[in-house]
Amino acid sequence: MVNDPGLTISESAARGTADDCVLVLIGALGDLARRKLYPALYRLAAEGLLSPDFTLVGVDRVADDDASYAKAIGESLATADDTGGSVNPDALDRLTRGARYIKGDLTDPALYRAITATLESITAAGGSANRMFYLAIPPSLFLRVIESLSKSGAAPRTQENEEQQKGPWTRLIIEKPFGRDLASGRTLNTELLARFAEPQLYRIDHYLGKETVQNILAFRFANAIFEPLWDRGSIASVQITAAETVGVETRGSYYEEAGVVRDMFQNHLMQLLATTAMEPPGAMTATAVRDEKVKLLRAVRRFDAVALRESVVLGQYAAGTIKGEHVPAYRDEPAVAPDSTTPTYAALRVFVDNWRWEGVPFYLRSGKRLATRVSEIAIRFRRAPGVLWPRAARRTMDANELVVRIQPDEGITLSFQAKRPGAALSLTPEMELSPVRMRFSYAEDFGGAPGPAYETLLLDAMLGEATLFARSDEVEQAWSIVDPIVAIAGPDHTPEFYPAGSDGPIAANAMLAADGAFWRGLISGLPPGREPAPRQKEPAAR
């Protein structure tokens, strides 16, 4: 172990590689494994970050053997977006060398005896005794698989606290959703903690693996110029957006059960809210960071009957046009009920009742089939007094805005006011002000786009670094916030319909208009009706 004040890392981390381990991937031939997990593991192998003693064990119900499994991984990588179709043979060999495959039914105790025997044989042959289990399976199977892994001895209880890293370890990675509501989320936590210690559990939210989300902490706490402004005295409002152009595609049956609130708000958007608004942690450790997130979520004002009526908008996409192509309504998608009331869009007005944020509205929105794909956090500062400026200048003044773009075009933009050249040579009535932007781009400043989120998260899990994973109390606090919204989004609720390819329901605009605010336009980033004229080119500042 290497110890610094408030920081604990493994010897492997100090060397720049993951801890040695056997990764048991349950759901090894499923969509998540093929599209996300194998490309992430491949990149770790290609970058030399996998331990030489790493071994992959795939578990699924499809008939296969070790050689066929390794071949299937290679085929997945050849068509994966994250590899660009180019696969390095040496990296692929490093990933699949010694890979094992176990066929079985997840409800059959014999499968777990086979998993245990395989792990013991790997250890006996000189392989790693550290075990990591990734549950890439439907949530309905979580409890059964967790109980069976524990009962069989394949996944023993090990660490009781984050500092206890001695000896072989066992860790479980669990995909969202973490329950369907507060009650089921608590039940899942209870069952997990009855069998495993909290430091063994890695509840994965891929949004937290995105470089731009992690950069929020660095931006706030490593730059002295911003944190003093990060409160109700300087900030007028915060907007958090996760917009998608895609519909439900082949996931209609899942989405009918989940809806946008369970799919996006309980996990992704609540984590973005907590990261943006949390207090500075005492140290950059998993415990300290997650403690502050929990404190922030506890301070979020819960939705009562009035807030549900005035601060929640639920919508569902109708037919429309995206990029010139006609797309069907949600109710016409495969495996969706023709009279479905499932929301595909939600907008919330949230307040954080603590000293820092009292009275500052946080506007959260997420939806499918919107005008463009964008995830971002927009911090809108209070408008400067206009009393000093001529009338023409006051009309063109706008509030400063800081935008953290999570995807695509990852980066940070800060807008501020400047005098428009040529409008006037002095402070005359004709003088105009114009917004200009300072921009940081990951692609330009770091020579490429950030790596995939799953690559970061898998490496962190192998290192025992839990900062980017949700803790049990985080999960329950997030559920307690959105539970009332889940409750009203049932069969008796009628969502507001919005055309595919639009910015969302009209009622969402009205909710902000009541506050004298507006949503950032999904395409331009500017409010509707305030896009610059085509002949004008906005000055750029770097």
**What positions carry a catalytic annotation?**
268
The C-alpha atoms of residue 103 and residue 100 are separated, in whole angstroms, by 10
Structure tokens at 516: 């004298």
Phi and psi (nearest 5°) for 250? -95, 10
- What is the largest distance, in Å, between two alpha-carbon atoms of the chain? 85
The C-alpha atoms of residue 308 and residue 488 are separated, in whole angstroms, by 8
**Residue 198 DSSP class:** G
Taking residue 505's Cβ as centre, other Cβ atoms within 10 Å add up to 25
The C-alpha atoms of residue 315 and residue 369 are separated, in whole angstroms, by 11
Q: Are strands 374-381 and 235-243 parallel, antiparallel or unpaired?
A: antiparallel
334 in Cβ contact with 250 (< 8 Å) = yes
Q: Which residues pair with 331 in a beta bridge?
A: none
CA distances to 11, 49, 50, 308, 351 from 16, rounded to whole Å, are: 9, 7, 9, 49, 41
Q: Which residues pair with 350 in a beta bridge?
A: 362
> 3-class SS at 14?
helix
The C-alpha atoms of residue 498 and residue 504 are separated, in whole angstroms, by 6
The residue among 158, 280, 204, 210 whose CA lies nearest residue 465 is 204
485 in Cβ contact with 307 (< 8 Å) = no
Q: Are strands 131-135 and 170-175 parallel, antiparallel or unpaired?
A: parallel
The residue among 368, 316, 379, 352 whose CA lies nearest residue 481 is 352
- Give residue for tokens 């957006």: 241
- Give residue for tokens 């301070």: 299
Q: Which residues pair with 134 in a beta bridge?
A: 25, 173
CA distances to 225, 388, 391, 427, 448 from 385, rounded to whole Å, are: 21, 7, 12, 16, 40
450 in Cβ contact with 212 (< 8 Å) = yes
The upper half-sphere exposure of residue 367, i.e. CA atoms within 13 Å in the direction of its Cβ, equals 33
- Give residue for tokens 């180019």: 86
Instruction: Locate all alpha helices (DSSP H) within 243-312, ordered by sequence.
Output: 252-260, 270-277, 286-299, 305-310
E-only strand ranges, 332-467: 345-351, 361-367, 374-381, 401-407, 411-419, 433-441
**Residue 449 DSSP class:** P
Length reported for the chain: 542
The C-alpha atoms of residue 203 and residue 173 are separated, in whole angstroms, by 6
295 in Cβ contact with 472 (< 8 Å) = no
